């Protein structure tokens, strides 16, 4: 029995609890099965008439929203205390988190919607935005919008493309990884560029003061 046959069997036994429980597990870094595949296969099961669209989509959205909310609360309550205590072992200082918060406040809300599409990032975005104290109203607007967009997109792949869903999913995930690499490189370049600008400004200020 492969993974997707197991998911189908679980649907037969437990119904939409598969989504209500499975998707929150994806958000806490236990993607068994992976969220993208689960949503796409659920869309495929809807295409086959095995599950109904509205309950399936509603359960998927609620499950994913629960996962985001849980990780956000964990990050909000435990994030900074853990960084202050154990961050040095991971080379993460509280000052780095504070700087990251500044960048997020400037660029992050719209990126929050995109993050749900990227495996690996999705599992940690809730903890991250909780740790840097992103207001819950912002999470409600952008975070749950991102959740809805993610659920609709991958659910639709299975529902629209039917038997071809695995091929389409592989193509989509490949390009999402490329996009993630480009975003990560852009972020690193931005960090380096801002650091260089600060160093130049500091040297210029010191030179002016010495004259």
Give the per-residue pLDDT at 34: 75
Q: 140-156: per-residue pLDDT in tens?
A: 888 899 999 999 999 99
The kind and range of the H/E element at 34 are none
Q: 43-78: per-residue pLDDT in tens?
A: 998 998 888 999 999 999 999 999 999 989 988 888
For residue 93, what pLDDT band results from cuts at 50, 70 and 90? low
What span, in angstroms and rounded, lies between the C-alpha atoms of 5 and 73?
34
**Residue 49 falls inside a structural domain:** yes
**Residue 191 falls inside a structural domain:** no
- Of 131-140, 146-155, 179-188, the range with the highest mean pLDDT is 146-155
Average pLDDT across the chain, whole number: 79
* Max Cα–Cα distance, the chain, nearest Å: 80
What span, in angstroms and rounded, lies between the C-alpha atoms of 171 and 110?
24
What span, in angstroms and rounded, lies between the C-alpha atoms of 34 and 25?
9
**Residue 117 falls inside a structural domain:** yes
Does pLDDT of 187 surpass 70?
no
Please calculate the CA angle 185-189-192 and round it to the nearest 5 degrees. 140
What span, in angstroms and rounded, lies between the C-alpha atoms of 182 and 108?
16
**Residue 208 falls inside a structural domain:** no
**Residue 52 falls inside a structural domain:** yes
Helix (H, G, I), strand (E, B) or coil at 93: coil
Question: Which domain covers residue 92, as residue numbers?
Answer: 3-164
**Residue 195 falls inside a structural domain:** no
**Residue 53 falls inside a structural domain:** yes
Q: What is the pTM of this model?
A: 0.75
Residues in the chain: 211
Q: How many domains does the chain have?
A: 1
**Residue 65 falls inside a structural domain:** yes
Q: 5-51: per-residue pLDDT in tens?
A: 777 787 778 888 888 888 888 887 665 667 888 899 889 989 988 88
For residues 184-193, give the mean pLDDT.
Answer: 74
- Rounded to 5, what percent of the chain is helix, strand, coil? 85, 0, 15
């Amino acid at each position: 029995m492969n993974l997707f046959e197991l998911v189908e069997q679980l649907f037969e036994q437990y119904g939409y609890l598969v989504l209500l429980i499975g998707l929150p597990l994806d958000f806490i870094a236990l993607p068994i099965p992976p969220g993208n595949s689960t949503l796409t296969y659920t869309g495929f099961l809807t295409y086959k008439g095995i599950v109904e669209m509205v309950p399936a989509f509603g359960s998927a959205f609620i499950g994913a929203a629960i996962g985001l909310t849980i990780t956000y609360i964990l990050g909000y309550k435990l994030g900074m205390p853990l960084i202050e205590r154990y961050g040095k072992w991971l080379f993460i200082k509280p000052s780095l988190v504070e700087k990251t918060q500044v960048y997020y406040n400037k660029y992050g809300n719209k990126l929050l919607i995109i993050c749900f599409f990227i495996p690996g990032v999705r599992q940690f975005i809730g903890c991250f935005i909780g740790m840097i104290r992103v207001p819950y109203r912002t999470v409600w607007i952008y975070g749950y919008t991102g959740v809805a967009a993610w659920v609709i997109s991958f659910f639709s792949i299975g529902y629209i493309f039917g038997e071809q869903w695995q091929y389409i999913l592989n193509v989509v995930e490949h390009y999402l990884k490329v996009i993630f690499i480009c975003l990560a490189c852009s972020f690193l370049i931005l960090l380096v560029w801002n650091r260089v600008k600060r160093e130049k400004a500091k040297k210029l200020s010191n030179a002016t003061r010495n004259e």
